[in-house]
Structure 1
Amino acid sequence: MKRLEIYKEFTSMLDYLYNQNISNSLTPALSSKIGSSLFDAQTAITVPLKEVMHEIIDDALHSPCEILHASVYTWMIEKGLHGELIALAALSLKDYLIRTNAPELLWQFYERNKNHADAAKILEALASKDGPDMPLSQRVEYLARAVVCMRSDQAGYAPRLGVFLRELEDKVEVARIQQQILNTICNQQHLYDPMTVRDAKLRLNSSLIPITQLYEEYAEPLQLWECKLAIIHCSGHQDAMLIQGIWTNIIENELKNATAPSAEDKLVILMSKIKLLGQEYSGTPHCFPIEFLLKQMEVRACRLRVSNDHIIKGFLELGVSLEELLDLYDNACQLIAPRHLLVLTPVARLDFGFLEY
């Protein structure tokens, strides 16, 4: 009991030094023109306070008494000195953090001491914990940090940990799609019933949801077309008709929501959307069916009665070669409906492009 009272006095001393340091840091600096000797004297007294406090803490942690260690750790946590606490890297700190159930600090301790696998496991557990107290954005951040931990020093490339790394990578990808769904619902909440929006926000923020449920319970019933495309890309599902239907809806929605005054501006906006999604999915041909999209864009250009230049330029910027683009237009000329035969115009333009190229 007497020892505990001594430790209480010890932490009171730390309180005094801490408060004095805070007080001095808030004191305006004195001008050297007004009493420079006073300024020098004050500096000599106040500057070492933080260093003195750290030296006292360091000395205390060299004591064999773990109760004293715990008193110091508790005091530092209460003061919000989390960075300084982890920097101590004391051997007794790990046991203290485990005993007091402080996973948010324990993973940082493991990471600092290059125990990346254990840090990643704690981060994954934190992200997967159900409940409304942690927003989805924080869960995504924890998972992303876990992946970084596993990739550090090639920890995740050890045979026994490689599977865990792949699981984490899959989890963070699905969690980001969940975040995309949440963001889309929040941005378009005027389109849905208020109760639907409220329930979606609560559930999507309360836990990590499997990709199948995200599709069946949110992307499909709420017609979140870009989210559906992201889910198909993530899952590796290959269904050409389904993907073409999704793209058709993305195109129609983009045109419907375009507020540009001219038809040409609407086509530019639409092509910008295609390019944006193309940067994400062009490496996955089944999710970015170039031939289908080219035909769809040409049909829209014909309906709007505008030039096809932006379409050609857009696909070239996405990395489609002139040769491939010409082949695609040749196929389009053979298959496209007669009323859309204006598609011959860009073929001619591409022929000239070859001559210039």
Structure 2
Amino acid sequence: TLRESLRLYQQISQHTDLSLVCSQYRHVRFYEGVLELCLTAADKKDPQRLGPHFYKNGEPEDDKVGQQAFQERLLCYKCITDTMQELVNQSKAAPQSPSVPKQPGPPVMTSDPNMLSNEEATAHFEQMLGLAQRSQDELFHIALYNWLIQADLTDKLLEVNSPHLEEHLMHMIKQDQSKVHNMDLLWRYYEKNRNFGKASHVLARLADMHSTEISLKQRLEYIAQAILSAKSASCISAQAADGEFLHELEEKMELVRIQVQIQETLMRQYSHHPSVKTVISQLDSELMDITKLYGEFADLYKLSECKLALIHCAGHSDPILVQSLWLEIMEKELADSVAMSPADRMGSLSLKLISLGRMYAGTPRYFPLEFLVKFLEQEVCRLNWDVGFVTSTMLEIGVQLPRLLEVYDQLFKTRDPCWQRLKKPLHLVECIHVLLSGYVDDPSKVPTYDRRRFTNVCLDNICGYLVELQSLSPNSALQHIISNFKALQAKLEKLH
């Protein structure tokens, strides 16, 4: 019987032609025989276990005897992994079909009758992998893991539940062998075994690694995955250190996003500059700190939006710098849209302001409302744009109506000569009229608890505007504005 033949071969396995016997065993589908015979042969050929000793010592070149024993063992293991490779190939093979007949009559099967079906091959492979894991031969485990990695069967590798796998991956990482790939396997191994804390630390190391093998997008994914793992770890352990690490990762994530933003902006704006290609790959090769990103990239290439994001991320407050960055952003948007129709230019600038405004409006230090309103309203006068353009954009960003009225009221009372120069002395009052008409049409723009107070503020302000307007030398445009405000006054009084 097959078992009996195995027992006899095992007794003389060190003198047996392994590949010949294994091919016979494969022929009769005695796969466990292949495994057991080869493992016995490895032990018999190296009874003093010089091979494992040689491996554990870091494979010293002067240990020729150890190296010989190590190679002997690897050849025995190779018969096993070759058999497994054959099963993998058969499990993926296209189903056999009869060949094209050369003569009439029933079809002739020319293919190998010993060929396994895909399902049979898969079942035998799983059986061999299961049996292989029971082996106590540590060096065989390592040969098996290396083969699984090389055969691109990492999913199978991660199903292996053995302390040897963690040790082996750590050993490979220390040796700098395919470091990125092995660290990628290690975090997956930890994740699979629900060791989330360790997984998050390996992921963070991967994201930080100086390497051209990892793209910036991949680094961002590693950090995102590290955050998920760290959250899972803190749910389980609730240790303070885990919480601190999670906080560090979240801060890092914010910075990595800005690095991605810098890279994408450079690709968009400078794609025709060959020198920028180097800069783009430099941004791929490592994660950088705020100072480096600001000085060597955002500032050097005049990326105002990225500079604003960086000072916001750093919590750096410099009102003059913030204003100048917003000015650069708005001027660039206006310059880029110069060939468009007025309606399209307004739309384009409004979209830019809304997307950035929603990010920063919650932190007024990075959203200088008075400065923005004044600059934009001057542009509206210069370009003859719609009077309600700025107010509607600001409301869309989420600026509260009472706060917006405060800003316009203050600007009007400052009496800056710029409005006279632009030949639009009443422009701000017209904007205020548009703003308050919006409130009268839809009072829900102001929360219920604040409506009475705000309506009184509006009425007080309108009284002031009317006094001022009526003191000016009359003309038809002025009369029109005065009657508009009087109508608005009557509607506001009804709101009480």
Q: TM-score, normalised by structure 2?
A: 0.64
Alignment equivalent of 2:194, drawn from 114, 133, 153: 114
Q: Which amino acid is 1:114 matched to? A: R
Determine the structure 2 residue equivalent to 1:91.
163
Percent identical residues: 33
- Aligned-residue offset at 1:16: 1.0
Provide the C-alpha distance between the structure 1 equivalents of 2:257 and 2:439, rounded to a whole number of angstroms.
42
| CA distance 1:45–1:138, change in 2 (3 Å) | closer
Counterparts in 2 of 1:161-310, with a 5 A limit? Answer: 161-189=242-270, 194-195=274-275, 197-258=276-337, 261-310=340-389
Determine the structure 1 residue equivalent to 2:134.
62
| CA distance 1:261–1:58, change in 2 (3 Å) | same
Provide the C-alpha distance between the structure 2 equivalents of 1:194 and 1:353, rounded to a whole number of angstroms.
51
Determine the structure 2 residue equivalent to 1:31.
none
Q: Does structure 1 residue 342 correspond to structure 2 residue 427? A: yes
Q: Does structure 1 residue 15 correspond to structure 2 residue 100? A: no
| CA distance 1:73–1:270, change in 2 (3 Å) | same
Indicate if the aligned counterparts of 1:136 and 1:205 stay in contact, CA closer than 8 A: yes
Determine the structure 2 residue equivalent to 1:355.
440
Give a deviation string over 1:268-327, Cα, whole Å, max 9, x none.
Answer: 211110001122222222112223222222222111101133432222222223222222
- Aligned-residue offset at 1:199: 3.8
| CA distance 1:86–1:255, change in 2 (3 Å) | same
Q: TM-score, normalised by structure 1?
A: 0.88
| Gap runs ≥5 in structure 2 | 1-13, 15-40, 43-72, 98-108, 174-181, 443-496
Q: Which amino acid is 2:293 matched to? A: L
Q: Which amino acid is 1:222 matched to? A: Y
State the 4+ residue runs in structure 1 displaced beyond 6 angstroms: none
Aligned length: 344
Provide the C-alpha distance between the structure 2 equivalents of 1:190 and 1:160, rounded to a whole number of angstroms.
43
Indicate if the aligned counterparts of 2:298 and 2:306 stay in contact, CA closer than 8 A: yes
Q: The residue matched to 2:78 in structure 1 has which SS?
A: helix
Determine the structure 1 residue equivalent to 2:227.
147
| CA distance 1:268–1:260, change in 2 (3 Å) | farther
Determine the structure 2 residue equivalent to 1:35.
none
Provide the C-alpha distance between the structure 1 equivalents of 2:338 and 2:156, rounded to a whole number of angstroms.
53
- Aligned-residue offset at 1:166: 2.1
Determine the structure 1 residue equivalent to 2:17.
none
Provide the C-alpha distance between the structure 1 equivalents of 2:123 and 2:407, rounded to a whole number of angstroms.
71
Q: The residue matched to 1:100 in structure 2 has which SS?
A: helix
Provide the C-alpha distance between the structure 1 equivalents of 2:434 and 2:266, rounded to a whole number of angstroms.
42
Q: Which amino acid is 1:216 matched to? A: G
Q: The residue matched to 2:94 in structure 1 has which SS?
A: helix
Kindly indicate whether structure 1 or structure 2 has the higher relative contact order, using CA contacts under 8 Å at least 6 residues apart. Answer: 1
Provide the C-alpha distance between the structure 1 equivalents of 2:283 and 2:212, rounded to a whole number of angstroms.
9
Provide the C-alpha distance between the structure 2 equivalents of 1:168 and 1:20, rounded to a whole number of angstroms.
45
| Gap runs ≥5 in structure 1 | 29-37
Stretch moving more, 289-298 or 96-105: 289-298
Indicate if the aligned counterparts of 2:308 and 2:322 stay in contact, CA closer than 8 A: yes
Indicate if the aligned counterparts of 1:111 and 1:119 stay in contact, CA closer than 8 A: yes
Indicate if the aligned counterparts of 1:86 and 1:108 stay in contact, CA closer than 8 A: yes
| CA distance 1:84–1:283, change in 2 (3 Å) | farther
Provide the C-alpha distance between the structure 1 equivalents of 2:413 and 2:120, rounded to a whole number of angstroms.
83
Provide the C-alpha distance between the structure 2 equivalents of 1:74 and 1:24, rounded to a whole number of angstroms.
27
Provide the C-alpha distance between the structure 1 equivalents of 2:337 and 2:437, rounded to a whole number of angstroms.
32
Choose 1 or 2 for highest CA Rg.
2
Provide the C-alpha distance between the structure 1 equivalents of 2:226 and 2:147, rounded to a whole number of angstroms.
28
Provide the C-alpha distance between the structure 2 equivalents of 1:190 and 1:137, rounded to a whole number of angstroms.
18
Stretch moving more, 146-155 or 267-276: 146-155
Provide the C-alpha distance between the structure 2 equivalents of 1:229 and 1:96, rounded to a whole number of angstroms.
46
Determine the structure 2 residue equivalent to 1:34.
none
- Aligned-residue offset at 1:227: 0.6
Q: Which amino acid is 2:171 matched to? A: R
Provide the C-alpha distance between the structure 2 equivalents of 1:351 and 1:198, rounded to a whole number of angstroms.
52
- Aligned-residue offset at 1:260: 5.1
| CA distance 1:221–1:99, change in 2 (3 Å) | closer
Q: Which amino acid is 1:162 matched to? A: G
Stretch moving more, 176-185 or 288-297: 288-297
Determine the structure 1 residue equivalent to 2:239.
158
- Aligned-residue offset at 1:7: 2.2
Determine the structure 2 residue equivalent to 1:46.
118
Q: Which amino acid is 2:347 matched to? A: V
Indicate if the aligned counterparts of 2:299 and 2:307 stay in contact, CA closer than 8 A: yes
Indicate if the aligned counterparts of 2:197 and 2:233 stay in contact, CA closer than 8 A: no
